[in-house]
């Protein structure tokens, strides 16, 4: 969110507090009550879109760590079973193929880790099921590894989707702020004049909330506003 939008949002939130405080007074002018309802709905959408734009991804990060740990754990179990099987078969080439450690897997990047786990899965799927069953390598173990790989692959693809979502959110925010600006200028400000004489305290608090102050401590100049919009 740009600085200008952030300043506007602070003003809108202050206005929402005032409008909620004097909600009963809105009944004096039904058209004003309807405009306030639209304003509140737009404000809620702005807050929701802002979260998307800022990419609130703490939950996603924790989920990624969980899925990665689960995939590594079952990969190590499958690799260990194949390694012992290969040892008994005196198949040194197979031993080398599945020789992995927790430290090795954890230091890999997402793509490299995924490829390594997929290779272990490929090897496990190609072995004789009856021959490896005594080593704990059962069909459900292999399908479990497949599931963990699929889950992790889907999760690491999310940031690419998020980039698109954030780009869309940025465009939508611009539209929302423009819509709110027109709503306030063309309708709410003028309807508030209708109750100015009857409810001067309400009106004055509304006008005070309408002032958009630069959060850096100064009022924005036209030049700064234009720079923000570029």
pLDDT digits (tens, 9 = 90+) for 40-98: 999 998 988 888 777 654 456 677 889 999 999 999 999 999 999 999 999 999 999 99
How would DSSP label each residue in the chain?
A: --HHHHHHHHHHHHHHHHHHHTGGGGGGSHHHHHHHHHHHHHHHHHHHHHHHHHT--HHHHHHHHHHHHHHHHHHHHHHHHHHHHHHHTT-HHHHHHT---HHHHHTS-HHHHHHHHHHHHHHHHHS-HHHHGGGT--HHHHHHHHHHHHHHHHHHTHHHHHHHHHHHHHHHHHHHHHHHHHHIIIIIHHHHHHTTTT-HHHHHHHHHHH----TTSSPPPHHHHHHHH-
Q: How far is CA 106 from the centre of its chain?
A: 25
Q: Is 90 left (phi over 0), alpha (psi -120 to 50) or beta?
A: left
Q: How far apart are CA 182 and CA 106, in angstroms?
A: 53
Which residue is it, tokens 């001067």?
200
User: If pLDDT is split at 50, 70 and 90, which confidence band does 220 have?
Assistant: very low
Mean pLDDT, the chain, integer: 86
Return the domain boundaries, the chain: 3-55+159-229, 58-158
User: If pLDDT is split at 50, 70 and 90, which confidence band does 192 have?
Assistant: very high
Q: What is the pLDDT of residue 154?
A: 86
pLDDT digits (tens, 9 = 90+) for 107-146: 998 889 999 999 999 999 999 999 999 999 999 999 999 9
Tell me if 214 sits within 8 A of 220, measured CB to CB.
yes
pLDDT digits (tens, 9 = 90+) for 199-208: 999 999 999 9
Over pLDDT 70: what percentage of the chain? Answer: 86
């Amino acid at each position: 969110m740009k600085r200008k939008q952030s300043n506007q949002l602070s003003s809108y939130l202050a206005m929402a507090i005032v409008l909620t405080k004097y909600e009963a007074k809105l009944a004096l002018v039904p058209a004003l009550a309807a405009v306030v309802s639209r304003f509140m709905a737009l404000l809620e959408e702005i807050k929701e879109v802002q979260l998307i734009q800022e990419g609130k991804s703490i939950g996603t990060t924790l989920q990624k760590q969980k899925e990665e740990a689960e995939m590594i754990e079952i990969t190590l179990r499958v690799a260990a079973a194949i390694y012992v099987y290969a040892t008994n078969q005196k198949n040194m080439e197979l031993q080398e193929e599945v020789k992995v450690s927790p430290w090795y897997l954890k230091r890999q990047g997402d793509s490299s880790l995924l490829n390594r786990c997929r290779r272990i899965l490929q090897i496990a799927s190609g072995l004789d099921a009856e021959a490896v069953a005594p080593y704990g390598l059962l069909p459900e173990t292999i399908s479990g590894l497949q599931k963990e790989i699929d889950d992790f692959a889907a999760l690491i693809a999310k940031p690419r989707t998020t980039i698109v979502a954030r780009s869309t959110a940025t465009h939508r925010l611009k539209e929302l702020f423009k819509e709110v600006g027109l709503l306030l200028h063309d309708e709410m400000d003028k309807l508030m004049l209708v109750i100015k004489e009857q409810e001067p305290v309400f009106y004055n608090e509304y006008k005070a909330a309408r002032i958009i102050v630069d959060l850096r401590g100064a009022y924005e100049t036209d030049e700064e506003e234009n720079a923000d919009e570029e």
